[in-house]
Amino acid sequence: MSDSPITPSAGRSGLSVGTFGMLGLNIVSVAAGIALWAAVTATGVVGLPTPMAVAGKAFELAANGTLLDDALASLGRVLAGFILGILVAIPVGFLMGWYRVARGIIEPYVQFFRTIPPLAIIPLAIVTMGIEETPKIFVIFLAAFLSSVIATYQGVISVDRTMINAARVLGAGDFTIFRRVVIPASVPYIMVGVRVGLGSSWATVVAAELIAAQSGLGFRMQQAQLYYDLPTIFVSLIAIGVLGLIMDRIVMATDNVLTSWQERL
């Protein structure tokens, strides 16, 4: 009997997991990770706080309102910079991909700033913009923008030319082609850029808060470091991960709606 390739439908029927099944796998995975964490700390070889110590500190910080205040401060900065970055990046990416002249003008600047980590901009932003919210939001904006603009641009130039030519043969003008062909075909790339930009935004805000902030999860970690307060550091790290995960799931749900036409494994 000759071997036959596994088709997408066969892969789904053999390995498909429903929504509740996937949730169950997530819960089992998290529980296993916590159990491993507890086992490692129980040996005393690694100087990490136990899950119970971290949970106790989390309840303490939540009870006095510190955890909520820090989470809201960091979340507000991320949302402001991330949304601004996406709103600017998508039109610029479409402009670069659709018009060669715009590409020639804009691309050198995009590629230049892509080689400079947003974290390296933080000292300059603080010196020029002060230590208030503006520099923090700016560096988050820059991180989200650079990730999303490249993804959008790549989506536009990757559109199948056959579809564009077919639309022209049917009498569609440039605007119709752009609206009905280019934008839908670019959405999967855009959403990948949005997800990458989201991760970059959280990484950037933590770094910004480590340098100059009076509130936020990054600020709380810095303060805890001074007193070797590992449980507080872990609480802040977990809070960042949870908030980032929730936002990522929202982006994924949006992606599923916008690209419902796309076949998935």
- Per-residue pLDDT, 144: 92
- Angle, helices 133-157/66-98, rounded to nearest 10 degrees: 40
CA distance 149 to 112: 13
- Per-residue pLDDT, 263: 64
Helix (H, G, I), strand (E, B) or coil at 4: coil
- Per-residue pLDDT, 17: 58
The hierarchical CATH code for the domain 50-258 is: 1.10.3720.10
Radius of gyration from C-alpha coordinates of the chain:
23
Domain boundaries, the chain: 18-48, 50-258
- Per-residue pLDDT, 20: 64
- Burial class, 206, CB count within 10 angstroms (exposed 0-12 / middle 13-18 / buried 19+): buried
- Per-residue pLDDT, 13: 43
Question: What are the tokens at 106?
Answer: 């804009």
CA distance 16 to 231: 39
**161, 157, 158, 154: which is closest to 192 by C-alpha?**
154
- Per-residue pLDDT, 171: 80
pLDDT digits (tens, 9 = 90+) for 178-201: 888 888 888 989 999 999 999 989
Residues of the chain with pLDDT under 70: 1-20, 45, 212, 262-265
pLDDT digits (tens, 9 = 90+) for 37-87: 888 888 876 778 888 999 999 999 999 999 999 999 999 999 999 999 999
Residue with the two structure tokens 């913009």: 129
